[in-house]
Amino acid sequence: MHDDRTLVEARLRRVLDERIRPAVYPESVPLQVAVWHAPGEPVPVEEGLAAEPGPIEVGARWGAPWGTSWFRVTGTVPEAWAGRTVEALLDLGFDENMPGFQCEGLVHRPDGTPVKGLNPRNQWVRIGAPVAGGEEVVLHIEAASNPVVLDYHPFLPTRLGDRETAGSEPQYALTRMDLAVFDETVWQLVMDLEVLGELMAELPADSARRYDIVRAVERALDAVDLQDVGATADRARQQLTGVLAAPAVPSAHRISAVGHAHIDSAWLWPLRETVRKVARTTSNMTALIEDEPDFVFAMSQAQQWAWVKEHRPEVWARVKKAVADGRFVPAGGMWVESDTNMPGSEAMARQFVHGKRFFLDEFGIENEEAWLPDTFGFAAGLPQIIRAAGSKWLLTQKISWSQTNKFPHHTFQWEGIDGTRIFTHFPPVDTYNCSMKGGEIAHAARNFKDKGRARHSLAPTGWGDGGGGTTREMIAKAARMRDLEGSATVAWETPRAFFEKAEAEYPEPPVWVGELYLELHRATLTSQAQTKQGNRRSEHLLREAELWAATAAVRTGFPYPYEELDRIWKTVLLHQFHDILPGSSIAWVHREARATYGRIAGELNGVIDAAQRALAGEGTAELLFNSAPHGRKGVPAGGAGAASLPQGTTLSPRTGGGYVLHNGLLRVEIDARGLVVSAYDIQADRETVAPGRAAGLLQLHPDFPNMWDAWDVDEFYRNTVTDLTDAESVQAAGGGVSVRVTRAFGASRVTQVLSLPPGERRLVIDTEVDWHETEKFLKLAFPLDLHAERYASETQFGHVYRPTHTNTSWEAAKFEACNHRFVHLAEPGWGVAVVNDSTYGHDVTRTVRTDGDRGTTTTVRVSLLRAPRFPDPETDQGVHRFRHALVPGAAIGDAVREGWRLNLPERRITGAHAVAPLVTVDDDAVVVTAVKLADDGSGDVVVRFHEAHGGRARATLTAGFEVADVTVTDLLERPLGDSEPPTREGARITVRLRPFELVTLRLRRS
């Protein structure tokens, strides 16, 4: 037989596009439209409904960037349409290729009841099925004219990312406002043909099943009268029943479809617009749930649920009912889908505390899965945190974006730094916006790495962001693929149902140890430095506020600010969302973030000051309050007292220019260029700086990645570097115990102050940059005379090791990585730490000298600033201040201690007496990350700590108050039933910890 397959396939495409799809709506009449443009920010629904609109015609331009327009559409259903299904078709000027990235609308009835959202792939509103004829139609559309920031030519600099710079040019043209007859039979024929056509294209060209479909499609097309599609659609559908009824083979891959709409809590739109995006999507999904009995929708991010509850109570009522019916599922158990690389230990824990508690309080639902499809890589401390929150599964997707290496598993156990393992799934469909296309389903089945051992995968299904979620077309396609020969099987299921099945069928999956590093978006560790700095400082201020407020509450009856701390924590957690903290949002988002962090700092400093004054009492003695988890200057961790005065630092001229700093522990030479050419550890008789090199060196690179400007730095940036060695001045400063260096480069200026604190083995470098570069990358380099094949980077509740070599493509791909407060490198018996107060990105390389002793040197470079132009064309412009310290002779414990000290500077106030710590720990390897009162208001003291050196620890925790009982709890402060209570003698509690083990104790006061 002649092969006419391509002929039939081409015929199918044209007939669908030009005849059958248009026949879904065979008759239509125009609606009358009027509009009111809200001045400024969005207005309440009542105000929008009450406003008097003016006339507007289809085709007219509307919508200034970030504006809100209230359309009123009115009309009458023709009497001749009685008995038929009628829908309103409301096209605001959509581009179907941009669901989620342009204008959107929420339809209301005249009484303010929300109906559903309008989106590029979801433009219809059901009027009646059937109608009686003659009905009056009145609908109100709250339309958001969000501008297209990420256009067909992506990553071009644009001023549209901030209302202050976006202008007032109308962004859209009103395209269609009609009442139309909906022919469901034709629509079902479209679904039949789309599913079969898409499946056919994925089958082998010589397979019998493909030809069965070709012949059935041919018969169906022959049955359609192209001049009267509606009358012949049912006849055409009958030709397809056989091929649609053929069941899947027993070995077919099985896909759990989960209705989903991945909504970035801020990205190419501000936070206030996300509130409305969530309302539109939840309106859509609750309406769809009412129409589709098998459909299940899952929504993550407790913050987004809270927004619906706060801002749209009428939508919240529908959501609550759907949750009660088991159809609308809270997922993920986190406050937002946060970045996981940069949030600190406590912040990462509180993401789960606040997220899970919201779903427990509102619905009594315990989330056991972490849901993070779009996060830019996963820190190695996360498995323990997930488990400590009472969860046991993880879903992610973004690892499929890695540029260099393809991840070897789709279902696996992920092992963290402490040995905790989490059952993890990485959907092979390779998208978190699955639309049920045949190509996506076939790709999932082919791509699944664990074939032969497992056959289940998950497909998050629906348009994300402002795309409106799952559509009726996706549900129709899934129904046809429930049991269809040649296809994977598809069934709507909750995340829990999927994980239970996947875990049961795969009892011994492979294990991946360590971080899940994303080989992409590495520059998110540096972009928008002030956002990152605000996050870091907010985390540490919250630690201080909880510590001193709890201490004062126990000691003096100070009113513990439960509600204030809860609110501030949630604000900080929101800003850890994976496009805010990483610096990949529009200018508006980061402008607001800077203001928010400033406000938070003021509030928290107020709490801290009030609590410390309550503790110190009235007096004239100078007290040092030590918030760090280790003692300093004679003051214990978590206590206050008079500081000891260590031996001073001297500064003297250096031969050949520059200065020498000396404090009895270190001798630091700063040359005439203002660069550190020697940092000599006197006790170890050891030089820190690599021979012939200089530390504290600023280096400037061009930085123009191939795409994803704010997100990416491509490895070729290293090919060109400019060392900033010219100094305008190198002068003694700080009363003669510091050196100030000033430099100018390009349009920017930098001032560095190098200090050697008395009695401490650390060189502190304060850097102030007035940054006005474009598409440049600024690094701070420390070439070290160390032979190190690996180095440690602090992460949540411990540290992770990375190689310094590039033996394999996996190692070479980690050319930019994340640390928290320190990186540490060591030879046996001697090491060096580089600590920071607010930076995350860094790189570490190794070199073998070709002269002298041919020794190995290792260079640590801290990433300071970038200057990408998309999506914020003014990224990082302005003044920035950073603090770093070089710590020669540091063991890993020194790195931990110095990192905390740099981030929790001492506070001095006058008072009457010293303050004893609320709790003490007798082992420096055991680091207390939180001291607070229990969230339930009981007055119990909660202490969270972990082993920080990577070894075993036996420690005694002593409470500074009478203890009636001690309980080991999870992160939500609930008793852990499988944990033995620690040994206790009065207020002394003995604990034994595994390497990096995290423990939370709840101490009931007598």
Residues acting as catalytic residues = 374
* Contact between residue 257 and residue 266 where contact means Cβ atoms under 8 Å apart: no
**Parallel, antiparallel, or unpaired: how do β-strands 411-415 and 393-396 relate?**
unpaired
**Which are the contacts of 366, defined by CB distance < 8 A and separation ≥ 6?**
356, 359, 360, 390
Kind plus residue range of the DSSP H or E element containing 233: helix 229-238
Distance CA 672, CA 692 (A): 15
* Block residue for tokens 């309980």: 967
Q: What is the maximum span of the chain, computed from C-alpha positions, in angstroms?
A: 103
The token pair that represents 932 in the structure block: 């607070």
Q: How far, CA to CA in Å, does 651 sit from each of 600, 669, 751?
A: 39, 10, 19
Cβ distance 771 to 876 under 8 Å? yes
Residue by residue, DSSP assigns 330-395 as E-S-SSS-B-SSSS-HHHHHHHHHHHHHHHHHHH-----EEEETT-S-B-TTHHHHHHHTT--EEE
Give SS3 for 790.
strand
Q: Which residues contact 48 (CB under 8 A, 6 or more apart)?
A: 36, 38, 68, 70, 140, 142
Grouping H, G, I as helix, E, B as strand and the rest as coil, residue 794 is strand
Q: Which residues pair with 836 in a beta bridge?
A: 884
CA distance 200 to 194: 10
Query: Which residue from 364, 396, 400, 444 is spatially nearest to 300, judged by alpha carbons?
Result: 396
Distance between CA atoms of residues 628 and 928, nearest Å? 9
**DSSP state string for 577-596:** BTTTTTT-S-HHHHHHHHHH
- The conformation of residue 604, written as its DSSP 8-state character, comes to H
Which residues neighbour 944 within 8 Å (Cβ) at sequence distance 6 or greater?
A: 346, 349, 928, 929, 930, 971, 998, 999, 1000, 1001
Residues 645, 236: Cα–Cα separation, whole Å: 92
What is the number of residues in the chain?
1006
Task: Pull the structure tokens for residue 424.
Answer: 């993890």
CA 949 to CA 190: how far, in whole Å? Answer: 62
Cβ atoms within 10 Å, residue 650: 15
Q: Which residue has the tokens 């829908």?
A: 87
Q: Classify burial at 236, counting beta carbons within 10 Å of its beta carbon; exposed 0-12, middle 13-18, buried 19 or more.
A: buried
CB 42 within 8 A of CB 49: no
Structural contact between residues 946 and 647, judged by C-beta atoms closer than 8 angstroms: no
Strands 941-947 and 926-933: antiparallel
* Strand intervals (E) in 684-762: 686-687, 697-702, 722-723, 729-733, 738-745, 748-755
Residue 770 and residue 750: Cα distance in Å, rounded? Answer: 6
Would you give the end-to-end CA distance of the chain in angstroms? Answer: 91
**Beta carbons within 8 Å of 692's beta carbon, 6+ residues apart:** none
Residues 630, 105: Cα–Cα separation, whole Å = 54
Contacts of 605 (CB under 8 A, 6+ apart): 541
